[in-house]
Chain A
Amino acid sequence: MSEIPRPWTERLPAGDEGQSGRGLHTATQRLNMGPSHPATHGTVKFLIELDGESIVDLDVQVGYLHRGFEKECESGTWYQAIPYTDRLNYNSAILCNLGFCLGVEKLLELETPERCQWLRMLAGELARVGDHLTRCGATCLELQAMTPFLYGIEARELTWDLLEALCGARVTSNWVRIGGVRHDLPEGFGDACRDKLARIRRLLADFDAVVSRNRIFVDRLKGTGVLSPEDCIRYAVTGPLLRAAGVPLDLRKSEPYLRYEEADFDVPVGEVGDNYDRYLVCLEEMQQSLRIVEQCLRQLDRMGPGPVDADDPRVRWPAKDRVFNRMEEMIQQFKGVTEGPRVPAGEAYQAIESANGELGFYLVSDGSERPVKVRCRPPSFLNLQPLPEMVRGGLLADLIPTFDLINMIGGECDR
């Protein structure tokens, strides 16, 4: 007499009931997402262990945009590193210029003139607005909402127009220099800027009206991608992600550089550290940045024309008429162009609050014209690291807004 076949679920070894808890056998599957995926704005690969639609585990594989930033910087002069910093976070290149130049100035023990500092703040805050607009806009786009993305990009175009007027380039600015900035404001910049600020505010209001209380958007963002403040600290997460978790840490307040001490602005914080809090923090930070931009314009008007470079022969080139008529100045110019400053031997770490968080530069010099070490502490790299913690147990679809609001920028993350 043949044996009665048992149901297949009973044939499974004990304890192997899968994640569903319904006694059904489920097998996890592996999904490769990326490195080039239409729903991620960044070149990164996720190797996802899926149970149905739930994420069991995740391996984040970065490095697709590694260009050898540090190696390139070590082989050129200090000046030649500045264009490479543009290409770290290409959404806010000015802030990357700024971090590097402040680091070199720390090694040179160089003080920049007041006008230069307000100019740097002005451009830096415009860049921050552009960066946050990309983050919020792209999040909407990747959640299948095209309109808010266009509002965001239209506003970003306005900030880029202003940056173009300031430095001649829209993305790779190369405007902040060691000991100063490349140009003072062009003529009529103040009025054009105030006009564009008003338009950016209107677009932000539209963006807010369309998105912030949209049922679909709120449902997708609320309660997803949560990272507790303790985990943020353990993973050294900084920037809007940390503030969304309720930790009011902003280097512009806690370790003010430039003239941030004199600027009047607030640091928005979230409550639970989910994606919705991150979105709201970014939205409010843009308003605060616009406030700072207005204060910079007022200060620059008050100050009137003045030098925008430190008066230091190591970093400032002599006036052209003297270069053409005097031997010493010609030699100084020649040395300045071919070698750039010789930075005294030593080491320094300079951190600024970039749009993504703490952007640090650890610089080591041996006293020659070439750096020994240019280390960039990339905020996206460290903010991306706890992604598995944020999405584990959640749905695959929640990975998209979580990754978007981390705002991993390949150029900066992979260097």
Chain B
Amino acid sequence: MIELVAILRDRVPEAVLAHHAQHGDETVVVAPESLVRVFECLREEPELAFDMLMDLTAVDHSERADGPGDPRFEVVYHLYASTHGHRLRVKVGVAEEACELDSLAPAWPAADWMEREVFDLYGIRFRGHPDLRRILLYDGFEGHPLRKDYPKTRRQPLVGPCDS
């Protein structure tokens, strides 16, 4: 883990904001500006070789017990190295006001649908995504239901067929 962080710090200085290994899950928190370069480094460095983007999701920290999270959202990536068999979690904070992050989809095709899902359910926009539209919900749905301030009981009428 220390080695991984050292490699990352060497290749992309200022990228790693924090790191921990809770329950054995290696985790690094990186700065949003260096996200794309961090992922490039994680894939290209032969000792790291994280080639599979297994999961991409977000967490809304606005109802955290110790006060609202800052920044409000956290986008969470899970990586797997198919040759070495190790895993890594990468987390990036996303502020509520801008609500934007660089897209990984151009370089990581696996991110395409998962970024669309995060956009759909959390309203986080991914800069540079080739086709950012809703995926699980329909066009015309109002709001982003996995945000903590979206009431579970809210009902929305199903709109008619949309053109696509």
Task: List chain A positions with a Cβ less than 8 A from chain B.
Answer: 47, 59, 61-63, 66, 68, 70-72, 75, 106-107, 109, 233-236, 238, 247, 249, 254-255, 345-349, 351, 358, 360, 362, 364, 366-368, 372-373, 375, 377, 381-382, 385-386, 414-415
Which of chain B's residues have a CB closer than 8 A to the CB of A415? 136
Q: Check B125 for interface membership: any CB of A closer than 8 A.
A: no
Would B54 and A358 count as touching, CB distance under 8 A? Answer: yes
Across the A-B interface, the 9 shortest Cβ-Cβ residue pairs: A236-B110, A63-B136, A377-B55, A66-B136, A375-B57, A348-B23, A236-B52, A373-B59, A385-B113
**Additional A-B contact list (13), CB under 8 Å, known A233-B51, A351-B54:** A68-B145, A71-B152, A234-B109, A236-B52, A236-B80, A249-B82, A347-B27, A360-B55, A362-B57, A366-B65, A373-B57, A373-B59, A373-B60
Would B152 and A66 count as touching, CB distance under 8 A? Answer: no
Q: Which of B59, B78, B145 contacts A349 (CB 8 A)?
A: B78
Minimum CB–CB distance from A172 to chain B (whole Å) comes to 22
* Total A-B Cβ pairs within 8 A: 98
Q: Could you tell me the dominant secondary structure of chain A's interface residues? A: mixed
Would A233 and B57 count as touching, CB distance under 8 A? Answer: no
Subset of 23 A-B contacts with CB under 8 Å: A59-B164, A63-B135, A63-B136, A63-B137, A63-B138, A70-B146, A71-B145, A71-B150, A72-B152, A75-B152, A233-B82, A234-B109, A236-B53, A236-B80, A347-B25, A348-B23, A360-B55, A372-B59, A375-B55, A377-B55, A381-B113, A385-B109, A385-B110
Q: Which of B64, B85, B121, B135 contacts A62 (CB 8 A)?
A: B135
Would B54 and A377 count as touching, CB distance under 8 A? Answer: yes
A61 to B114, CA, bound (A): 13
Minimum CB–CB distance from A229 to chain B (whole Å) comes to 9
A358 to B121, CA, bound (A): 22
Contact with A along B29-47 (1 / 0, CB 8 A): 0000000000000000000
Q: Which of B23, B52, B65, B114 contacts A346 (CB 8 A)?
A: B23
Would A71 and B146 count as touching, CB distance under 8 A? Answer: yes
A304 to B134, CA, bound (A): 53
Would A414 and B136 count as touching, CB distance under 8 A? Answer: yes
Would B55 and A349 count as touching, CB distance under 8 A? Answer: yes
Chain B residue nearest to A229 in the complex (CB): B82
Minimum CB–CB distance from B21 to chain A (whole Å) comes to 11
A84 to B80, CA, bound (A): 27
A386 to B110, CA, bound (A): 8
Would A234 and B108 count as touching, CB distance under 8 A? Answer: yes
Task: List chain B positions with a Cβ less than 8 A from chain A.
Answer: 22-23, 25, 27, 51-55, 57, 59-61, 63-65, 76, 78, 80, 82, 85, 87, 89, 108-110, 112-114, 121, 134-138, 145-146, 150, 152, 164
Would B164 and A47 count as touching, CB distance under 8 A? Answer: yes
A234-B109, A236-B54, A377-B54 known; A348 and B25 CB under 8 Å? yes
Which of chain A's residues have a CB closer than 8 A to the CB of B146? 70-71
A205 to B109, CA, bound (A): 39
Would A368 and B52 count as touching, CB distance under 8 A? Answer: no
A152 to B57, CA, bound (A): 36
Chain B residue nearest to A385 in the complex (CB): B113
Minimum CB–CB distance from B152 to chain A (whole Å) comes to 5
Would A360 and B78 count as touching, CB distance under 8 A? Answer: yes
Chain B residue nearest to A106 in the complex (CB): B23
Which of chain B's residues have a CB closer than 8 A to the CB of A375? 55, 57, 76
A367 to B76, CA, bound (A): 20
A235-B110, A351-B54 known; A364 and B59 CB under 8 Å? yes
Which of chain A's residues have a CB closer than 8 A to the CB of B23? 106-107, 109, 346-348
Q: Which of A364, A368, A377 contacts B78 (CB 8 A)?
A: A377
Which of chain A's residues have a CB closer than 8 A to the CB of B54? 236, 238, 351, 358, 360, 377
A360 to B53, CA, bound (A): 12
Which of chain B's residues have a CB closer than 8 A to the CB of A234? 51, 108-110
Chain A residue nearest to B76 in the complex (CB): A362
Chain B residue nearest to A414 in the complex (CB): B136
A63 to B162, CA, bound (A): 14
Which of chain A's residues have a CB closer than 8 A to the CB of B134? 63
Which of chain B's residues have a CB closer than 8 A to the CB of A68? 145, 152
A254 to B109, CA, bound (A): 24
Would B65 and A368 count as touching, CB distance under 8 A? Answer: yes
Minimum CB–CB distance from A63 to chain B (whole Å) comes to 4
Which of chain A's residues have a CB closer than 8 A to the CB of B108? 234
Would B109 and A386 count as touching, CB distance under 8 A? Answer: yes
